[in-house]
Amino acid sequence: MNSDQQLFQRHIRSIKRERKIVLTWQFIILVTFIAIWEIASRLNWIDPLLFSSPSRIWNLLIERFANGSIYSHLSVTLFETILGFIIGTIGGILLATLLWSFTRFSKVMDPFLVVMNAMPKVALGPILIVALGPGYLAIISMGFLVSVIITTLTVYSAFNGVDPNYSKVLKSFGATRWQCFKEAVFPATMPTMISTLKVNVGLSWVGVIVGEYLVSKQGLGYLIIYGFQVFDFTLVMSSLVIIAVLAAIMYKVVEKLEGWLIKHST
């Protein structure tokens, strides 16, 4: 084995070692948090009625999964979130592409996009319910609205941030504006679009849960509201735990997608 291979193997081992250290610390922090929460609840350092405890949450989740009552709520929320996430991300990228393609259109739309980004999307919830009806469409639209504007602004900014020399070189060979976009601008902004996917995971969950607060009779957001209404805060915390786990899984899936895209785009 030559020196270059030895250096490469040493580098790989250092990356794996660092990954193990990070995972170990993450595990320690999580276990410590759960242990402190359980002890504080049992010793009444915190109000057990309001904050429940990990053991109560675990028992409730086991009971709900055993009798199957949680599956319908979980599947509804997951379906709405994934669909809102996909539509919001794709819609944002397409709108950013239109803005980049038509300079005058981008100038006209710029103040409207800024205002729409600053507008609280929650305030649009009742309007969506009246316009689209109290069903899946209104909730998915909430998830879409929360993510599409920020995706558009972030990706469009990345398009404009690409080194103009790339396009100049292509144009010197007779490339059209669309060819410059396809061969230089779009590939150069792939990391930004992947980062936007990670942000949209959280935004989509926020939009869907808020939508379920307002209108749904199923879903994890509905369980949270129902738990508050009947003062069953263990149910509230259990729903939040499920949301956290599902959001983490979606984030990891996006990370895997990031690795695949980077591997196949180089």
Question: For domain 55-265, which CATH number applies: 2.60.120.10, 1.10.3720.10, 3.40.50.300, 3.40.50.2000?
Answer: 1.10.3720.10
Whole-number percent of the chain with pLDDT over 70: 96
Q: What angle do CA 194, 196, 198 make, to 5 degrees?
A: 80
The residue among 223, 207, 201, 200 whose CA lies nearest residue 123 is: 207
Task: State residue 265's pLDDT score.
Answer: 60
pLDDT tens for 77-134 read 999 898 988 898 899 999 999 998 888 888 888 888 888 888 777 777 777 777 777 7
CA distance 116 to 151: 12
Residue with tokens 């919001």: 88
Residue 241: band (very low, low, confident or very high) from pLDDT cuts 50, 70, 90:
very high
Task: Tell me the average pLDDT across 161-184.
Answer: 81
CA distance 189 to 163: 11
0.75 exceeded by the pTM? yes
The mean pLDDT of the chain is 85
pLDDT tens for 215-235 read 778 888 889 988 888 888 999
Task: State residue 208's pLDDT score.
Answer: 86
What separation in angstroms does the CA of 171 have from each of 72, 182, 239?
Answer: 55, 13, 54
pLDDT tens for 193-213 read 887 888 888 888 888 888 888
Task: State residue 256's pLDDT score.
Answer: 82
What separation in angstroms does the CA of 229 have from each of 23, 42, 223?
Answer: 38, 24, 10
